[in-house]
Amino acid sequence: MTGRPQPWRVDPLTNPYLGLPDHAFWSRAVSRPAARDAVDPLAGTPFTIGPRDAVATAGSCFAQHIARHLVAQGFSYLRAESGGDPEADPHGYDLFSARYGNIYTCRQLLQTFNRAYSLFEPQDDVWQRPDGRYVDAFRPRILETGHDSPEAVRRAREPHLQAIRRAFEECDVFVFTLGLTEGWVSRLDGAAYPLAPGVVGAGRPAEDYAFHNFTAAETRADLATFLARLRAVNPRVRVILTVSPVSLIATYTAQHVLPATVYSKSVLRVAAQEVADGLPGVLYFPSFEIITGPQARGRYYEEDLRSVTPEGVAAVMDVFSRHLLRAAEEEDGEAAAAEPFPLPEEPPAGPPPSDTGAGTVPPSLRQDYAAEYAQNLDIICDEEEIERSLR
């Protein structure tokens, strides 16, 4: 196991950059011709993952890639919520460790924990679709057929929340992929949703919802609070944070979608690094840099310049395996050495999200968001599959 990189100590009378390792220099680590096809941007890890470590995942689509890779390599992937009839009810099982669907923002992640442990009971928790069926507002696309009543939605939610608690409490490693800063919240109590109201359904009038673009401070505080609460129920858990390299499919801000994407990913990247730097046993894994860095020359993106190619996923997983996965013969020593981490303090609670947009979503954006959700459920969808989901 390698430790977190430490500051280098040099004689104050000499050039402080003398003697630094190659990975500290752009010319040696990135632009050198021999390195262009083999840039490894991870300079060290505070822990590794053994075959018997139970790994739980949550977040956007890239967490699903990690889960599939672990299973393919014979590692232990925690399925706290699995089963059902795959033909009658195919959606949502085994995509993540529990059947929560995509968790795009850190506010969603924190509220997922709070709902599972009865720390937050949102007022608007069930949405009705145009066909009259009812869905869980916090995982509205999990069950294609929907439910016949709000009560049925809430009954189905109880074992789901129990599975979330199991995932949080039993995992040895928790992987979270930060995906978005833009989201929709309830003006009643600040509940954060994975989809804009109106894409699948809604439970309240349009004026009860607001668009919100989370700031770096909000994202950092939400993530730090979640990790403090996760460590309260699972003191030994190790955490891997990543940022999804998939760009926004659409922005509800007044900006062009390109700078809106750069803002969103910059916020997530800063929050992940600052939280990881402040807590032991928390690692930022640079999947974002592997895909988007100039050394990749854009070759890891599909023709839409947004979706990641299988080659890109393989490049990320190669670095992940090299640094984080350890062989079975190394298992006993490190597993026995695992000790509880100090319980971090929760940051002060900030104000609820302000009203930053109207609650009504234009039809064009509804289609884009629906396509985004459909794509992420299957991880990789070609253009025909996306178009079919909109008919």
pLDDT digits (tens, 9 = 90+) for 124-157: 999 999 999 999 999 998 888 899 999 999 999 9
According to the model, what pLDDT value does residue 391 have?
Answer: 40
R_g of the chain, CA atoms, integer Å: 21
- Specify the 3-state DSSP secondary structure of 210: strand
Task: Round to whole Å and give the CA distance between 70 and 288.
Answer: 19
Confidence band for 327, pLDDT divided at 50, 70 and 90: confident
Q: b/e per residue, 192-208, with b = 16+ CB within 10 A?
A: bbbbbbbbbbbbbeeee
According to the model, what pLDDT value does residue 86 have?
Answer: 45
- The mean per-residue pLDDT over the stretch 257-272 comes to 98
Q: Where are the domains of the chain?
A: 53-337+354-389
Q: Residue for token digits 């993952």?
A: 49
The CA dihedral of 107, 112, 115, 116, to the nearest 10 degrees, is -150
- The mean per-residue pLDDT over the stretch 244-250 comes to 93
Structure token pair of residue 236: 């030994």
Q: b/e per residue, 23-57, with b = 16+ CB within 10 A?
A: beeeeebeeeeebeeebebbeebbbbbbbebbbbb
According to the model, what pLDDT value does residue 379 have?
Answer: 46
Confidence band for 6, pLDDT divided at 50, 70 and 90: low
Burial of 335 (0-12, 13-18, 19+ CB in 10 A): middle
State the DSSP code for 197.
T
Task: Give the phi and the psi of residue 115 in degrees, each rounded to 5.
Answer: -70, -40
According to the model, what pLDDT value does residue 12 have?
Answer: 61
Task: Round to whole Å and give the CA distance between 70 and 49.
Answer: 10
Of 228, 234, 239, nearest to 347 by C-alpha is: 228
According to the model, what pLDDT value does residue 388 have?
Answer: 31
Confidence band for 382, pLDDT divided at 50, 70 and 90: very low
- Specify the 3-state DSSP secondary structure of 126: strand
Task: Round to whole Å and give the CA distance between 285 and 241.
Answer: 6
Of 307, 373, 331, 316, nearest to 69 by C-alpha is: 316
Residue 360 has pLDDT above 70, yes or no: no
Q: What is the 3-state secondary structure (H, E, C) of 302-350?
A: CCCCCCECHHHHHHHHHHHHHHHECCHHHHHHHHHHCCCCCCCCCCCCC
Q: Where are the alpha helices (DSSP H) in the chain?
A: 26, 61-72, 106-116, 150-170, 216-233, 257-278, 287-292, 310-324, 331-337, 363-378, 383-389
According to the model, what pLDDT value does residue 372 have?
Answer: 45
Condensed to tens digits (0 to 9), the pLDDT of residues 15-56 reads 888 889 999 999 999 988 666 667 899 999 999 999 999 999
Tell how strand 238-243 and strand 173-178 pair up.
parallel
Residue type, 113: F
The total of other beta-carbon atoms located within 10 Å of residue 230's CB is: 21
Confidence band for 66, pLDDT divided at 50, 70 and 90: confident
Please name the residues in contact with 336: beta carbons below 8 A apart, sequence gap of 6 or more. Answer: none
Higher pLDDT, 86 or 52: 52
Of 268, 225, 263, nearest to 244 by C-alpha is: 268
End-to-end CA distance of the chain: 51
pTM here is 0.85
Higher pLDDT, 354 or 207: 207
Residue 257 has pLDDT above 70, yes or no: yes
Task: Round to whole Å and give the CA distance between 105 and 189.
Answer: 17
